[in-house]
Amino acid sequence: MVSVFSRIDNWKRDLTTNHARLTDDAADEQLRPPLVRGMPAEVAGRIAAWVESQARWSLVNQKTLDEGLEMNLIRVTPIMRFTDDITVILRNEKEGTRVKATSQSRVGKGDLGQNPRNLKELVNFLLQSGQIVDPNAR
């Protein structure tokens, strides 16, 4: 139990909110929609390969949108095995692909900060792999 509560970053938010999204005005830069190198299909392929290599992540489906792709992922928490649904929208822009994403817990009123951590994990993968064109480009 100590391990669970030690992960809580924002007590007010994490006990009352069970979703998170990447937004342009997020205080935390890792929760802003990054601009990534490549076309949406290329970016989706890289994300799918990364998800495949992650123990708790799975790709549920992927579909084509008018200007990009939508990926539906799930992540199962290590404690209690709760499932979070992550939707990733990949939109084509002049300089690359804009990645927007949401993460939503299936149960509970609060997520103990897991949904923001899911999104940060995804953005961190893109950052560490050198795929982000400009982390501050919005």
pLDDT tens string 68-102: 999 999 999 877 788 999 999 999 998 899 999 99
CATH of 2-128, one of 1.20.120, 3.30.310, 3.30.70, 3.40.50: 3.30.310
**For all residues of the chain together, what is the average pLDDT?**
86
Q: What pTM, to 2 d.p., does this model score?
A: 0.85
Residue 120: pLDDT band (50, 70, 90) is: very high
CA 2 to CA 47: how far, in whole Å?
A: 32
pLDDT for the residue 1: 45
Gap between the terminal Cα atoms of the chain: 38
Q: Which single residue is written with the structure tokens 């709760």?
A: 82
8 Å CB contact between 119 and 101 = yes
